[in-house]
A and B are shown apart, each in its own frame.
Chain A
C-alpha cells in the first residue's frame, strides 16, 4: 500500500492558487522530499495532508485514510514536525512528550516506555527533565522530531526540518532523520528549500514551483536528466575556439558543447575522468587552456533547467504567486533552452 496518494489536490486562497492540482504517490518506507523555494506551496500541501487545512478541490489518502472523511484516522497515523517550533518551553522535554502521548491516547505504561525509547533515539535522555527553554536550537528540533514519533505513526511529515539551525545541528538532524527512516521503516515526507538537504536525504524528490510539481524522480535521475557534468574551459584566445570545437566534434564522449566569449562549456558524463582527455584534445588542436572548471549538476541546476530560474531569483520575486504571471517567461525559456527541458517535463508526466 502506498503511504500517501495525492490526487488533483488544489488549494486556493482567494485569487491565489497555492497548490494547483497536485498528484503524486509516496511509497511505504520512502524518504520523500518536496523541494521548492519559499512560497512554492509546500507548507500548504502539508497542512492539507495533516488535516489542518481543507482542500479546495481534489483529495488525498494517508495510509489509506481519506483526508476528508477519516480525519481522525489520518491524524492517528501521522506525525508532524512543523516549520515553526511548536514546543511548550515551560515544560521539560519529557513533559512535552508525555502531553503528546496523552493527546494520542497512550496509557501510562505504554507512554512511559515510548518516552524512554524516543529520548534514547534522539539522545536527549540526560536532558529529559530540563525545561525546553534551556535547550539549544538543535535539541529542540530533535525533541520535536522525537515527539512526532511518540505515537508510532506510519508517516512522518517534516516541514523544513533544519530551518534556522547552524551547519552542525543541520547535519546532526539529517543523521537522525536517516536513522529513523532506516530503523523503523517509517515513511517520511519532508519539505525543504535547501537543495543539499533534498539531495542528501531523499529517495525521491518532487520539485515544486508555483504550486505545481515540475519534476519528480530520484536525485540521481533528476541530475542525469540534465545530460551530465559541465566542464568549462577558458581558452587563451577567442580565435582558437573554432579549432577546439572541431576537435570536440570528433570526441565520442562529448554529449554537447556551447561556446561563449573565451570559454567553452562541454557537457559530458563523468567529467572528472575526462579532464585529462580534454587537455590532450586541446594539445592536439594546439590550443592553450588557461583554466578548467568542473561543474557537477545538482538539483539547483535541475530547478534552473525546468523553471528557467534559480532558487534565489524565484524567492526574490516575493510572495506574489498570481498564476500565469511567469508562464510566458517559462515558456520562453523552454523554447530557447536545449531539448533537455522537454525531457525532464516528459519524465514528470510519466511519473505522475
Chain B
C-alpha cells in the first residue's frame, strides 16, 4: 500500500469536519472554557499593572492570542480523544483494516483535527471583537492563519501521539488535564514569561505554544518577544516533529 494515500486522507478529514459542523453542542462545549477565561480574565485584569506587559498594550489585546492558543490545545485534545472513542465504539477497526497505510491514517486524523481546532481558534478570535479586541491590520490575518495552522498541527500531532499510548478514553482525559494547563500557563498566554521564576522560564522556552502565542501577538497586535521568523521556524519544526512522532507511535497501535 502507498505510504501516502490522498483519497483516504481526504475521506478521514471529511469525516472529522462533517462531524464537527454537525454537532453545535460540541463546538459550544469546546469554546465555553476559553470564552470564560477570555471574559473574566480580560475584564478582571483590565488596567491592572502586569509586570512585563508592554506599556501601550491593553491586557485584553495581550490575552486574546493566548486564549486562542489555549483553544487550540483543547481542540487538539479532542482530536486525540476521537481516536480513542473510535476504538471504544469499534470504528477504529474499520479504518485499520482498510488498505490504507498507518501514516495516511495519522495524516488524515491530523488534517481533520487541525481543521476543527483551527476553526475553533477563528471563532474565539471573532468572539473577541465584540469584547473590544482590535486587529492592527486586516492584512495580518493571513499570517495569523499560518500560525494557527502550525499550532494546530503541532498539538493535534501531540494529541494523537499521546492517545496512541492509551487503550481507553477515560485514562486519556485524566492525563490530558494535567498536560493542557501546564502548557497553557507556561506559554506566556496569560502573562509575560519574564514574570516566571528563572528555572521555570526554561520550561516555557521548550513549550511550542510559547512561540505560537508570541507569533500570534506579533501579527495580531504588533508586539512580541521574538521575531516572527523565529516563532514561525520553531513552530514549523515542532509541527513536523509531532506529526512524525504521531505517525511513529500510531504505527504500533493494536486494533483489537
Question: Which residues from chain A sit less than 8 Å from chain B, CB to CB?
Answer: 47, 50-53, 71-72, 75-76, 80, 82, 84-91, 95, 98-107, 147
Contacts and interface: CB of A to CB of B under 8 A. Distances in A.
13 contacts: A75-B1, A84-B90, A85-B89, A86-B94, A89-B89, A90-B22, A90-B23, A91-B15, A91-B18, A99-B11, A100-B94, A105-B99, A147-B94
Q: Chain A interface mostly helix, strand, loop or mixed?
A: loop
Given A53-B256, A75-B98, A102 B93 contact: no
A82 B93 CA distance: 8
Nearest to A43: B256
Contacts of A101: 11
Given A75-B99, A90-B19, A91-B19, A103 B11 contact: yes
A71 B18 CA distance: 30
Given A90-B22, A91-B15, A50 B98 contact: no
A50 B99 CA distance: 11
Given A88-B19, A90-B22, A147-B94, 8 more contacts: A53-B256, A72-B1, A85-B89, A88-B15, A99-B15, A100-B94, A103-B8, A105-B5
A99 B14 contact: yes
Nearest to A157: B97
B98 A103 contact: yes
A51 B94 contact: no
A10 to B, nearest CB: 17
Nearest to B100: A103
B185 interface: no
A70 B10 CA distance: 25
B255 interface: yes
Interface residues of B, number: 26
A314 B22 CA distance: 47
B226 interface: no
A87 B91 contact: yes
A19 to B, nearest CB: 14
B7 interface: yes
B97 A51 contact: yes
Contacts of B19: 88, 90-91
A319 B133 CA distance: 62
B97 A72 contact: no
Contacts of A89: 89
Q: Chain B interface mostly helix, strand, loop or mixed?
A: helix
Nearest to A78: B97
A95 to B, nearest CB: 7
Contacts of A80: 97
B30 interface: no
Given A89-B89, A91-B18, A91-B19, A104 B10 contact: no
Nearest to A82: B93
**Minimum-distance CB pairs A-B, first 3:** A102-B11, A103-B98, A72-B1
Nearest to B20: A90
B31 interface: no
B222 to A, nearest CB: 41
A98 B15 CA distance: 10
Contacts of A90: 18-19, 22-23
Contacts of B39: none
A36 B15 CA distance: 37
A91 B89 CA distance: 14
Nearest to A87: B91
B26 to A, nearest CB: 10
A98 B10 CA distance: 11
Nearest to A79: B97
Interface string B223-256: 0000000000000000000000000000000011
Contact of B256 (A47, A71, A98): A47
B95 interface: yes
A86 B18 contact: no
Contacts of B10: 102
Contacts of A102: 7-8, 10-11, 14
Contacts of A71: 1
A107 to B, nearest CB: 8
B7 A105 contact: yes
A50 to B, nearest CB: 6
| Chain B CB within 10 Å, residue with most, of A98, A101, A105 | A105
Contacts of B255: 52
A110 to B, nearest CB: 11
B8 A52 contact: no
B22 to A, nearest CB: 6
B96 interface: yes
Contacts of B89: 85-86, 89
A88 B91 contact: yes
Contacts of A53: 256
Contact of A86 (B8, B23, B90, B99): B90
B111 to A, nearest CB: 13
A153 B94 CA distance: 15
A52 B96 contact: yes
Contacts of A87: 91, 94
Interface in B108-164: none
Contact of B93 (A76, A86, A91): A86
Nearest to A53: B256
